[in-house]
Amino acid sequence: MDEKSSRTSMVLQNDLWLFCGRKAYKEIPKSFSGICTLGIVVPLIYKLDNISSLRLRNKRDVNAPIVHYAETAIARAALPPLGVAMNYRDLHRLSNWTEGLFNATIKALKVINQEMSNIREVTLQNRYALDTILASKGGVCGLVLSHCCMYIKDYNLSISTTINEMEAMVKQNPISHPPIPDPWEWLFSWLPDGVWFRHLLLIGLGLVIGFVCICCCIQCVPSLITQCMGWWSSRRTSLGVPRREYVARYTRFRNEIYDSD
């Protein structure tokens, strides 16, 4: 409204205020002039008078109750060697489970960090576009005034440092065993470091050794067969009765049994 003052004041409704410049009036003054408007005052802090007993957001806790195995504990206490072995097994299971949990957490943090970086970049680009469009009206802050938010802190470096520390902790697992030295390392240590060339030499060396073994076996097989045949013949002779005599005796013995019947 753009009117001059009247001699009587008028009280406004409950939610309405009269805004003139930087001042707000609950009633229209007796004497005022200038450009004024009616509006609603909204505080920065909102008060909730009625709060429901139900949760506004459900919990996302994992239902994983702690289970106590009394029978297993009694068996481990009664048989100490068995208890030590089972405890050792359970420790390794716990270590593997914790390491898997760490790896899954690291993977999720990397994805979230990348997503937040992209969202931050898109938000700043949109803000720059809005400020450019609304430059004649003072930009976005000229419209929202005290609700204007310009600064978005970048935690990308801090999160990346934390992820690197977690990966270092996974690599330095105190329960993991040190690598077992290869007893055949001395045999192949003279080979060059090239992977493909090293594999090629190992394959060639294996083929040469296999060919030599096959040649030796071919030379030994005839003599082995001859020795086996000689041993078998001498074994049958040393048992006593030759085959022909044994068959003749068996036939004669069978005929005698039939004749007696």
State mean pLDDT over 134-161.
Answer: 80
Note the pLDDT of residue 30. Answer: 72
Confidence of residue 108 (pLDDT cuts 50, 70, 90): very high
End-to-end, the C-alpha distance of the chain in Å comes to 146
Mean pLDDT of the chain: 75
Crossing angle between the packed helical segments 70-78 and 80-133, to the nearest 10 degrees: 140
Taking a C-beta distance cutoff of 8 angstroms, is the pair 166, 175 a contact?
no
Asked if pLDDT for residue 9 goes beyond 80, the answer is no
Confidence of residue 3 (pLDDT cuts 50, 70, 90): very low
Taking a C-beta distance cutoff of 8 angstroms, is the pair 106, 166 a contact?
yes
Crossing angle between the packed helical segments 80-133 and 156-171, to the nearest 10 degrees: 160
The structure tokens listed for 53 are 């007993």
The structure tokens listed for 32 are 């005022």
pLDDT digits (tens, 9 = 90+) for 47-78: 666 766 666 666 666 666 666 667 777 878 88
Note the pLDDT of residue 206. Answer: 85
CA 88 to each of CA 74, 79, 171, 203: distance values in angstroms, whole numbers, following the listed order: 17, 14, 21, 40
Q: Is 20 helix (H, G, I), strand (E, B) or coil?
A: strand
Of residues 137 and 120, the one with the higher pLDDT is 120
State mean pLDDT over 236-254.
Answer: 58
Note the pLDDT of residue 56. Answer: 61
Q: What's the whole-model pTM score?
A: 0.42
Note the pLDDT of residue 68. Answer: 65
